[in-house]
Amino acid sequence: MILKKRQLVTGTLVLALSAAVFVNWYYTKPQTQQTAQNGKESVSVTDTVHNLGDAEYVLSSEVAQKDVFVEQRLKRQQSHDEAEEMLREIITDSASTEAAVNEAVKKLTALSDRITTEADIETLAKAKTGIDCLVVLSDTGAEVIMSKAPSDSATVLQITEIAMNKASLSAENITIIELNG
């Protein structure tokens, strides 16, 4: 009698374990291929089952935009550094005339002011709007490249006002651009 109970319990456990393995396999198999008949054509449908916890690489547009901003800031910094190096060479060169040295000092001061102004506008625009931006100043105006479109006209007005105050420009000389990407 005891032997039959053990065999019955063992058989039940084996059956339950087999059922659990089958259910697990059924719901986690990687691909299921079904063929459906649609009139005269045969259509193959493939469904992929994703397991919870599987790692997936996701590259969002926000990450890509940050990479573009980092790359553009690096390029801008390199061009500023090259201009600064060239001006410093003119200043330190003993063969340079006094007029050339004075002009180089004036341009170096303007370059330093431009770098500071670009950084100030970027920082204030991000603080006020929460949108990352890249500012490129020229002698005639400013371009503000935004990571996403400003949500309303008040945001555009805030950015324009910041650029006008910091760079002493008129509103017509300030361009706000959304980064596509």
pLDDT band of residue 16 (cuts 50, 70, 90) is very high
Task: Say what the pLDDT of residue 169 is.
Answer: 87
Number of domains in the chain: 1
Most confident of 21-35, 45-59, 89-103: 89-103
The two three-digit tokens of residue 63, written as one number: 């990450």
Task: Say what the pLDDT of residue 20 is.
Answer: 92
Residue 7 lies in a domain: no
**pTM for this predicted structure:** 0.60
Residue 69 lies in a domain: yes
> Average pLDDT, stretch 16-40?
71
pLDDT > 90? residue 30: no
Range of the domain at 121: 61-178
Residue 164 lies in a domain: yes
> Average pLDDT, stretch 164-170?
88
Residue 30 lies in a domain: no
> Average pLDDT, stretch 76-91?
90
CATH number at residue 100: 1.10.287.4300
Residue 159 lies in a domain: yes
The two three-digit tokens of residue 76, written as one number: 């801008």
Residue 5 lies in a domain: no
Integer Cα distance of 129 and 163 in angstroms:
13
Integer Cα distance of 84 and 140 in angstroms:
20
Specify burial of residue 125 (Cβ count, 10 A radius: 0-12, 13-18, 19+). Answer: buried
Residue 94 lies in a domain: yes
> Average pLDDT, stretch 156-176?
89
The two three-digit tokens of residue 164, written as one number: 């006008």
Residue 3 lies in a domain: no
pLDDT over 90, % of the chain: 16
Whole-number Cα distances in Å, 23 to 15, 16, 20, 62, 101: 12, 11, 5, 40, 83
